[in-house]
């Protein structure tokens, strides 16, 4: 009960008001998703997929909209995209609220594919999620957005599954500060192994033990790059968010 209450309080605080960082993040995702869907749909694709495994509520208490609603609004306003865009949103804690927010969007019925909202857990439940969405997606070009609370559920197996088909891309949040602190933490070692792989994590632990500052940062990011390439990411585009002087890094891979 204590753990559930802590998550609820954290969630309530997060959704009270949209931060500047969340606004920038949502704009980046939305603009890229919109241009990508327009290009692929314009080339004749009958299905273009947008998949978000940690979608959230869709809006904040202050009225600001988050990524799911922004993506859908852009799609509705486009001349071509509504005929081919399939959106699948998942959030274990906020599926009911998100579904209601989506249903209230003007023009939502103009989309050929009704948005799908799931309420499944990412992590131990990830195989079940992939089993459910795979028949819907097929081999359609898919942009997946992964923005977990921390890093639980973000694994190399998940990235491999999402990058397996042509024209598939994954944009994911890599919480560098949290991962950097936990690389040598035995309590969360299974999570780190799921992200980097057991052998790579062992090598990384040995390397970072002798490093600090920028040198340690480069070693961690090099291990992340190796992992992404190992699971099928051919192109990696890094960019960072800065908050109070500390950089947060996000990765887009194809």
- Identify the CATH number of the domain in which residue 76 sits: 3.40.50
Question: What's the burial of 225, exposed, middle or buried (CB within 10 Å: 0-12/13-18/19+)?
Answer: middle
Is 33 inside any structural domain?
Answer: yes
Which range of residues forms the domain containing residue 7? 2-147
pLDDT tens by residue, 190-226: 999 999 999 999 999 999 998 988 999 999 999 999 9
The separation between CA 208 and the C-alpha centre of its own chain, rounded to angstroms, equals 27
Is 30 inside any structural domain?
Answer: yes
Lowest mean pLDDT among 57-66, 85-94, 100-109, 221-230: 57-66
What's residue 145's pLDDT?
94
Is 89 inside any structural domain?
Answer: yes
What's residue 11's pLDDT?
57
Is 68 inside any structural domain?
Answer: yes
- Label residue 159 by pLDDT band (50, 70, 90): very high
- The label of the residue with tokens 């869709």 reads 58
pLDDT tens by residue, 37-81: 999 988 988 999 999 999 998 888 888 889 999 999 999 999 999
Is 183 inside any structural domain?
Answer: no
Question: Is the pLDDT reported for residue 19 higher than 50?
Answer: yes
Report the alpha-carbon distance of residue 217 to residue 219 in Å, rounded.
5
What's residue 149's pLDDT?
80
Report the alpha-carbon distance of residue 112 to residue 224 in Å, rounded.
38
Is 230 inside any structural domain?
Answer: no
Q: Buried b / exposed e across 66-93, counting CB within 10 Å, b at 16+?
A: bbbbbbbbbbbebebbbbbbbbbbbbeb
CA dihedral for 141, 253, 230, 130, sign (positive or negative): negative
Is 90 inside any structural domain?
Answer: yes
Question: Is the pLDDT reported for residue 27 higher than 50?
Answer: yes
Question: Kind of pairing, strands 116-118 and 85-90?
Answer: parallel
Q: Answer for the pair 72, 98: CB distance below 8 angstroms, yes or no.
A: no
Is 221 inside any structural domain?
Answer: no
DSSP-assigned letter for residue 77: H
Number of domains making up the chain: 1
Rounded to an integer, the average pLDDT of 158-176 is 91
Report the alpha-carbon distance of residue 29 to residue 143 in Å, rounded.
10
């Amino acid at each position: 009960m204590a753990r559930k209450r802590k998550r609820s309080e954290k969630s309530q605080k997060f959704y009270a008001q949209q931060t500047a960082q969340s606004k920038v993040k949502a704009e980046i995702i939305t603009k890229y998703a919109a241009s990508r869907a327009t290009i692929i749909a314009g080339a004749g694709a009958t299905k273009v997929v947008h998949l978000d495994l940690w979608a959230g509520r869709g809006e904040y208490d202050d009225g600001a909209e988050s990524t799911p609603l922004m993506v859908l609004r852009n799609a509705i306003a486009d001349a071509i995209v509504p005929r081919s865009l399939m959106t699948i949103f998942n959030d274990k804690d906020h599926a009911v609220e998100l579904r209601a927010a989506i249903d209230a969007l003007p023009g939502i019925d103009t989309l050929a594919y009704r948005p799908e909202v799931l309420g499944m857990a990412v992590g131990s439940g990830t195989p079940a999620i992939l089993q459910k969405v795979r028949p819907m997606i097929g081999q359609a070009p898919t942009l997946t957005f992964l923005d977990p609370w921390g890093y639980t559920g973000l694994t190399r197996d998940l990235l491999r599954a999402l990058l397996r088909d042509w024209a598939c891309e994954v944009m994911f949040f890599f919480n560098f500060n949290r991962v950097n602190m936990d690389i040598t933490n035995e309590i969360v070692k299974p999570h780190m192994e799921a992200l980097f792989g057991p052998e790579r994590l062992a090598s990384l632990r040995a390397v970072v033990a002798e490093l600090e500052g920028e040198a340690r940062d480069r070693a961690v990011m090099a291990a992340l790059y190796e992992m992404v390439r190992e699971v099928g990411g051919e192109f990696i585009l890094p960019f960072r968010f800065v908050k109070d002087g500390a950089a947060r890094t996000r990765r887009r891979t194809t």
